[in-house]
């Protein structure tokens, strides 16, 4: 275990010059690799008139075409894969539950790379072999469960691979085994706390010290609430199957105001989702990732749909010199435009959670906007005031009694459009 940790530490704290050297070398190599091995990229590069001999450094990345989720759908089942089928060791799936699935194949190298990136997250969250890790994301085609599992297993932690659902059972295991680390979607912990309360258990009294949460954008206020409820620390972990799964692209900065992108393995750019133009530091847009160290199906300039901002390419207070981006504010699909104001569900969640509201829905239907939450009628006006002041919106607001709205054990669906 010391070995994998030492390795993680070394990679996390690489100096800028070294990171640059590695990423440039890997970038040149991966561009050639996908061109030579992936039918998808061979075609795309040819169509875009790319001469790969002229791609010399990361600076040239903007000459390469984007890759979209639609192209991955069309590549089903294994049309964009760079290796013969006998080198694929597993697949995971991304995307919606309808339509053509998006399949991400892994070679042995890719599974190791996944584990290695997760190890960096474990190092920063100080998860060790002494931890009892309850893994609530699904074990199946969705990637969450396995990502946590591979790394937890590698450090010889006590793994409870329980998967999602059956919340009472989750709580029973947390009590009986003394779970110290809870891995899950961001909306699950407060549901667990609610059910525990019905069982007469205060989750703050449990042994849980850390929660590693992701799979959906969640607000800073929600984090504070989860931390107070569990008397524990909650970490934000990114999770993009197309880049290899949970924890691969980066992890939360110890300063807790953004995510460091592991730049020896990934390039992150932020673009204007409308025009495709690459934006500067500090400008918000869609994050585009390039995988530099994957083998089965490395993606070049993949449009993630995640909305964020590059904070800085200079060293961070925490000592990590990998580029930092803001926590994911939302997904491009979830952006709401109401009376000319653009915002995301997390902006609303921030305000609601500040007023103690954790269960809510946002209805954006026929140009109308309504926010429905469980809670006291009396806080409505304070919420309306804050939404106007901090988000710039004046929606209809409705309260319903506690327990009225749908609960989520996986990703929450709080935005209803029509």
Q: Does 259 interact with Zn ion (rule: CB under 5 A)?
A: no
Of 123, 39, 114, the closest CA to residue 74 belongs to 39
Minimum CB distance to Zn ion, residue 255 (Å): 5
Minimum CB distance to Zn ion, residue 301 (Å): 25
Tokens standing for 304?
């993630």
3 state DSSP class of 275: coil
Which residue, 232 or 316, is less far from Zn ion as judged by CB?
A: 316
Minimum CB distance to Zn ion, residue 19 (Å): 14
Query: From residue 327, how far is each of 218, 259, 391, 393, 397 by CA, in Å?
Result: 9, 6, 17, 22, 27
Q: Which stretch binds Zn ion (CB under 5 A): 36-44, 186-194, 228-236, 316-324?
A: 316-324
Minimum CB distance to Zn ion, residue 260 (Å): 6
Q: Give the one residue of 151, 203, 271, 318 binding Zn ion; rule: CB under 5 A.
A: 318
Minimum CB distance to Zn ion, residue 2 (Å): 24
Q: Does 111 interact with Zn ion (rule: CB under 5 A)?
A: no
- DSSP secondary structure string for all residues of 84-96: -GGG--EEEEES-
Q: Does 320 interact with Zn ion (rule: CB under 5 A)?
A: yes
Q: Give the one residue of 111, 292, 316, 362 binding Zn ion; rule: CB under 5 A.
A: 316
3 state DSSP class of 231: coil
List helix spans (H) across 206-245. 220-230
Which residue, 281 or 376, is less far from Zn ion as judged by CB?
A: 281
* Alpha carbon distance 180, 166 (integer Å): 19
Largest distance between two CA atoms of the chain: 66
Q: Does 253 interact with Zn ion (rule: CB under 5 A)?
A: yes
Minimum CB distance to Zn ion, residue 214 (Å): 18
Q: Does 362 interact with Zn ion (rule: CB under 5 A)?
A: no
Phi, psi of 406 (to 5 degrees): -60, 145
Of 91, 16, 87, the closest CA to residue 320 belongs to 16
Q: Does 121 interact with Zn ion (rule: CB under 5 A)?
A: no
Q: Which stretch binds Zn ion (CB under 5 A): 2-10, 83-91, 249-257, 358-366?
A: 249-257
> Which residues, in sequence order, are bridge partners of residue 141?
none
Which residue, 252 or 269, is less far from Zn ion as judged by CB?
A: 252
Give me the residues that bind Zn ion (CB under 5 A), please. Answer: 253, 255, 316, 318, 320
């Amino acid at each position: 275990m010391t070995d994998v940790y030492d390795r993680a530490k070394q990679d996390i704290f690489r100096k800028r010059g070294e990171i640059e050297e590695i990423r440039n070398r890997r970038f040149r190599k991966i561009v050639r690799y996908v061109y030579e091995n992936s039918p998808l990229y061979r075609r795309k590069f040819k169509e875009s008139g790319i001469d790969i001999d002229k791609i010399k450094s990361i600076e040239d990345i903007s000459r390469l075409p984007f890759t979209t989720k639609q192209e991955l759908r069309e590549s089903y089942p294994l049309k964009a894969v760079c290796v013969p089928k006998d080198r694929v060791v597993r697949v995971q799936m991304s995307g919606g539950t309808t339509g053509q699935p998006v399949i991400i194949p892994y070679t042995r190298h890719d599974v190791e790379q996944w584990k290695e990136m997760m190890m960096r997250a474990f190092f920063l969250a100080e998860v060790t072999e002494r931890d009892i890790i309850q893994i609530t994301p699904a074990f199946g085609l969705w990637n969450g469960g396995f990502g946590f599992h591979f790394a937890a297993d590698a450090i010889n932690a006590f793994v409870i691979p329980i998967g999602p659902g059956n919340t009472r059972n989750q709580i029973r295991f947390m009590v009986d085994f003394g779970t110290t680390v809870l891995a899950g979607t961001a909306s699950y912990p407060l549901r667990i706390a609610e059910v525990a309360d019905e069982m007469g258990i205060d989750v703050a009294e449990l042994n849980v010290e850390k929660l590693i949460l992701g799979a959906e954008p969640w607000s800073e206020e929600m984090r504070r609430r989860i931390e107070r409820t569990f008397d524990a620390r909650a970490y934000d972990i990114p999770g993009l199957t197309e880049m290899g799964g949970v924890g691969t692209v980066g992890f939360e900065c110890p300063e807790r105001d953004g995510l460091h992108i592991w730049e020896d393995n990934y390039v992150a750019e932020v673009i204007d989702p409308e025009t495709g133009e690459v934006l500067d530091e500090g400008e918000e847009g869609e994050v585009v990732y390039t995988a530099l160290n994957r083998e089965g199906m490395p993606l070049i300039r993949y449009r993630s749909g995640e909305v964020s901002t590059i904070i800085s390419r200079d060293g961070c207070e925490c000592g990590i010199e990998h580029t930092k981006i803001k926590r994911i504010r939302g997904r491009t699909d979830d952006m709401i435009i109401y009376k000319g104001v653009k915002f995301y569900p997390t902006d609303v969640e921030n305000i609601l959670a500040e007023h103690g509201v954790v269960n809510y829905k946002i209805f954006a239907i026929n140009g109308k906007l309504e926010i429905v939450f469980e809670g006291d009628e009396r806080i409505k006006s304070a919420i309306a005031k804050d939404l106007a002041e901090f988000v710039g919106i004046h929606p209809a607001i409705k309260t319903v009694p506690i327990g009225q709205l749908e609960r989520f054990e996986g990703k929450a669906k709080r935005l209803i459009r029509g």
